[in-house]
Amino acid sequence: MNKSTKAIGYHKLKVLYFDVGSLLLSLDYLDQNPRVRSIVENSLFMSHTSFLGQLILDPEGIELLNDFCMNSKVLLYPLGTLFNRKFLIKQGIKREYLASDQSLKLRLNDSNPIRRMLAHAFRVNTDWRVVGNLSLYDMQLSSFAGRYIKTDGYSGVTENLIREIADSFQNELW
């Protein structure tokens, strides 16, 4: 983007790709909610529909994400395919804070969340960050150090994490 584009008020879409599991099913949250912990622990023995029908994501974390989106004009996009838009909206994430789904050009049966994220970010031409406990994908994300906010999976969404995310979007990376 050149200076003249900035001068006429062009604002690039901002998207936060987030790992739903590590942020909204954090260990702290599961420790406080034994019923939810039991559902997560038994998820391998349930159908996908049954699992999502019983699961309750961290409502405080969802509220913090909604407030962040409202105040920052950043949209959310879940990593992976387990937690779909309809489920997230039902859990309390506001529809207007979710980035739109796009048809993505990926290899057949490609379930790698980082490749899906990059394809989506490229497709919508976005200023993006990714947040969560994504240790399995550290090698893929090592090229994007300024965009990757790594969490430990213990605390979930906190005010400190929201501040870190907001600060990262203040630093222009392009």
Distance CA 94, CA 90 (A): 9
In our burial notation (b when 16+ CB lie closer than 10 A, e otherwise), range 54-69 reads ebebbeebbebbbebb
CATH number of the domain that 108 lies in? 3.40.50.1000
Distance CA 17, CA 32 (A): 26
Domain assignment present for 30: no
HSE-up (13 A, CA, CB side) for residue 72: 25
Residue 159's domain comprises: 3-25+58-170
Domain assignment present for 51: no
pLDDT digits (tens, 9 = 90+) for 36-82: 999 999 999 999 999 999 999 999 999 999 999 999 999 999 998 78
Domain assignment present for 47: no
Domain assignment present for 39: no
Res 105 pLDDT > 60: no
Instruction: Look up the pTM and report it.
Output: 0.86
Instruction: Provide the Cα torsion 55, 80, 171, 12; round to 10°.
Output: -110
Q: Tell me how many domains the chain contains.
A: 1
pLDDT digits (tens, 9 = 90+) for 3-21: 433 444 456 889 999 999 9
Quickly tell me which residue has 């031409």 as its tokens: 125
